[in-house]
């Protein structure tokens, strides 16, 4: 499924002919990439997480593939979407924050 998305793209405001908005497509693909990169999950855990993500968003793998194919027909739009996916992944704030440093310095 991931290879297919390398050739796909779209802007972030429209809706493809398949009924999936560009913003939903971008957020979903970015989240799928995050799942695939999660080293805390084994292959079964990643498969379960992908299935759960799609179900929560009311999507199916086939619907994403149809949207990807429709978006791939427009190279400029494809580039815009791929750029948005990359930017979304870089600015994702869903990861837990780093532990805070102690507020009081240690005394020796």
pLDDT in tens, 33-91: 999 999 999 999 999 999 999 999 999 999 999 999 988 888 898 899 999 999 987 87
Give the separation between CA 54 and CA 108, rounded to whole angstroms: 53
pLDDT at 43: 96
Question: Cα separation of 89 and 74, whole Å?
Answer: 22
pLDDT at 84: 93
User: pLDDT confidence of 101, banded at 50, 70, 90?
Assistant: very low
Question: Apex CA 77: angle with CA 75 and CA 79, to 5°?
Answer: 70
- At residue 17 the predicted structure's pLDDT band, cuts being 50, 70 and 90, is low
Ramachandran assignment for 60, one of left (phi > 0), alpha (psi -120 to 50 degrees), beta (any other): beta
């Amino acid at each position: 499924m991931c290879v297919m998305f390398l050739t796909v793209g779209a802007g972030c405001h429209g809706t493809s002919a398949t009924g999936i908005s560009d913003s939903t497509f971008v957020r979903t693909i970015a989240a799928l990439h995050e799942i695939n990169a999660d080293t805390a999950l084994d292959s079964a855990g990643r498969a379960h997480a992908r299935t759960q993500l799609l179900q929560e968003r009311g999507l199916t793998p086939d619907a994403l593939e149809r949207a990807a194919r429709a978006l791939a027909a427009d190279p400029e739009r494809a580039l815009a979407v791929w750029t948005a996916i990359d930017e979304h992944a870089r600015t994702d704030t869903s990861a837990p924050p780093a532990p805070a440093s102690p507020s009081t310095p240690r005394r020796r």
